[in-house]
């Protein structure tokens, strides 16, 4: 069964606005990762946050992790049309296996 | 990160036939994985491709349907056997990241889009 559940399923914003996507999961994790997928192509790794971390930044991306609530959020600041894609969270264990959520389809309108 | 290629990028196959998908990495990696993404869905792990031994399959996936080879540390194949329209999906291989800061990250190939008619 799917471990992560993204919220919302779809998000439409204007260029320049911030986009926030949430992910909830059910069991204990070693890490949580966010990926981007453009139009059904390969996945691009965005950021990994470990279970002992609470916040991580990478460029315009900010990820938070709350292990007590079993949830994570991905914030994309100053969004661009090129950010239009599907975003997936994936929970990982020490065995390297990933369990993916259902994804959020982000549309950034010019 | 590793550069990963997959062949073919897409194919249209008739039911009852089999298709072998290749995954090539530009560096030696220990862990290689195969995922399936059904239309409009998320990714599901099929199996871990182990070098020198049989693949380790996830619940719901069996070797007879999805035989996997891993002859060396840079190459793997996934075969989708006796295909039916329900096998229409994107199939992706992935590899683990480098040790240290990138440990546990996974890098994905561009995927193989399979349509079964």
- pLDDT over 70, % of chain B: 97
Looking at residue A97, its pLDDT comes to 87
Q: How many residues does chain B have?
A: 117
Report pLDDT for A4: 66
| pLDDT higher than 90, residue B104 | no
Structure tokens belonging to residue B92: 């992706």
Under the banding of pLDDT at 50, 70 and 90, the label for residue B74 is very high
Shortest Cα–Cα distance, A70 to chain B (Å): 19
Q: What is the pLDDT of residue A1?
A: 40
B7 touches chain A (CB under 8 A): no
> Which of A45, A49, A89, A99 should we substitute to test contact with B (largest number of B Cβ atoms within 10 Å)?
A45
Q: Does the structure show a pLDDT above 50 at B54?
A: yes
Q: Let me know: does B40 contact B86? Beta carbons within 8 Å.
A: no
With beta carbons under 8 A apart, name residues in chain B contacting A98. Answer: 33, 43, 45, 106
Run of H or E residues at B23: strand B19-25
Cα angle B73-A95-A68, degrees, rounded to a multiple of 5:
150
The 3 state secondary structure assigned to chain A is CCCCEEECCEEEEECCCCEEEEEECCCCCCEEEEEEECCCCCEEEEEEEECCCCEEEECCEEEEEECCCCEEEEEECCCCHHHCEEEEEEEECCCCCEEECCCEEEEEEC
**Confidence check: pLDDT of B77 > 90:** yes
Predicted confidence (pLDDT) at residue A2 exceeds the cutoff of 90:
no
All residues at 6 or more sequence positions from B100 whose CB lies less than 8 Å from its CB, including other chains: none
CA of B64, closest CA in chain A: separation in Å?
22
In this predicted structure, the answer to whether residue B15 has a pLDDT above a threshold of 70 is: yes
Give the model confidence (pLDDT) of A13-63 as tens digits.
Answer: 999 999 999 999 998 999 999 999 998 678 999 999 999 999 999 999 999
Statement: residue B68 has pLDDT above 90: yes
Answer yes or no: are the C-beta atoms of A19 and A79 closer than 8 Å. Answer: yes
Q: For residues A74-97, give the mean pLDDT.
A: 93
Lowest mean pLDDT among A51-65, B50-64, B88-102: B88-102
Q: Do B43 and A96 touch (CB under 8 A)?
A: no
Contact between A1 and B71 under an 8 Å Cβ cutoff? The reply is no
Which residues of chain A have a CB within 8 Å of the CB of B25? none
* Closest of A73, A78, A80, A90 to residue A36, by C-alpha: A90
């Amino acid at each position: 069964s799917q471990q992560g559940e993204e919220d919302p399923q779809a998000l439409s914003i204007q260029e320049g606005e911030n986009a926030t996507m949430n992910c909830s999961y059910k069991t204990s994790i070693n890490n949580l990762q966010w990926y981007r997928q453009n139009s059904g192509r390969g996945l691009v790794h965005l950021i990994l946050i470990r279970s002992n971390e609470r916040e991580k930044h990478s460029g315009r991306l900010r990820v938070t992790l709350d292990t007590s609530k079993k949830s994570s959020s991905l914030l994309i600041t100053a969004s661009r049309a090129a950010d239009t894609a599907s975003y997936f969270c994936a929970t990982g264990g020490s065995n390297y296996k990933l369990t993916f959520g259902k994804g959020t389809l982000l549309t950034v309108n010019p | 990160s590793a550069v990963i290629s997959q062949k073919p990028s897409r194919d249209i196959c008739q039911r009852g036939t089999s298709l072998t998908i290749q995954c090539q990495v530009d560096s030696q990696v220990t862990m290689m994985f195969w995922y399936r993404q059904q239309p409009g869905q998320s990714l599901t792990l099929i199996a871990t491709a182990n070098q020198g031994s049989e693949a380790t399959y996830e619940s719901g996936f069996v070797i007879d349907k999805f035989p996997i080879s891993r002859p060396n540390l840079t190459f793997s194949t996934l075969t989708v056997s006796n295909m039916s329209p329900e096998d229409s999906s994107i199939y992706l291989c992935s590899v683990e990241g480098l040790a240290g800061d990138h440990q546990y990250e996974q890098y994905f190939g561009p995927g193989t889009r399979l349509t079964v008619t």
